[in-house]
Amino acid sequence: MTGIGNDTVASVHYTGTLPDSGEEFDSSRGAEPLTFLVGHKGMIPGFERELMGAEVGDTRSFTLEPDDAYGMPSDEMIQEVPREMFPEEMPVDLGMTLMSDAGPFRIVAITDDTVRCDFNSPMAGKTLHFEVEVMDVRTATPDELEHGHAHGPGGHHHHHETEDEKGDDCGDDCC
Ligand code: ZN
């Protein structure tokens, strides 16, 4: 039986919780398992490391410090954007998450002239707990290795930062 390792494609069900509060922040249960190419930086580092060698049917339970997950929030990821950069008809409220070419950001302050935009991941700085069950492991195809991500059902990245990454299948515009 193949175990999870570099250049395999793994499908897993997972539930992520915040250890402090027990709050569930993400889960694949009730949907397709998460499918990803291992060893190509598609996942947060600790997630892959903890699953190395796991086979179909195995379960793993682990807690990741921020360095092994989404890193620490950085002041450099917070930008002051002139108010007029936002279309007039666009609602701009404190706490909103909006999309941009540079990825999603949260509005953390608003003045008459500027909007302060925080591009840090909402998961940055957090310790995360995962319960994972391995549903499938297979060898990656040459196409997948070339593209650096999994293809087929459930093939997408763990964190959806752009619309392009949400595609379940790679079309002509893949990569
Ligand atoms: Zn592709």
Q: pTM of the predicted model, to two decimals?
A: 0.78
> For residue 50, what is the DSSP state?
H
d(CA 45, ligand 1 centre) in Å: 21
Report how far residue 60's alpha carbon sits from residue 114's, in angstroms, rounded to the nearest whole number.
46
> In which region does residue 7 sit, left (phi positive, over 0), alpha (psi from -120 to 50) or beta (all else)?
left
Whether the CB-CB separation of 137 and 150 falls below 8 Å is answered with no
Between the CA of 147 and the centroid of ligand 1 the distance, in Å, is 5
Among 159, 166, 137, which Cα is nearest to 41's?
A: 159
Q: pLDDT of the chain along its 175 residues, tens only?
A: 789 999 999 999 999 999 999 999 999 999 999 999 999 998 999 999 999 999 999 999 999 999 999 999 999 999 999 999 988 888 899 999 999 888 899 999 999 899 999 999 999 999 999 999 999 999 999 999 999 999 987 664 433 444 444 444 565 556 6
CA distance 116 to 111: 8
**Contact between residue 2 and residue 134 where contact means Cβ atoms under 8 Å apart:** no
| Centre of ligand 1 from the C-alpha of residue 166, in Å | 12
Q: Which domains does the chain have, with CATH numbers?
A: 8-70+124-166 (3.10.50.40), 75-118 (2.40.10.330)
3-state secondary structure of 119: coil
151 C-alpha to center of ligand 1: Å?
A: 6
| Residues 97, 123: Cα–Cα separation, whole Å | 14
Residue type, 52: M
Distance CA 18, CA 29 (A): 17
Q: Residue 49, SS3?
A: helix
67: left (phi over 0), alpha (psi -120 to 50) or beta: alpha
- Rounded to an integer, what distance in angstroms lies between the CA atom of residue 152 and that of residue 161? 19
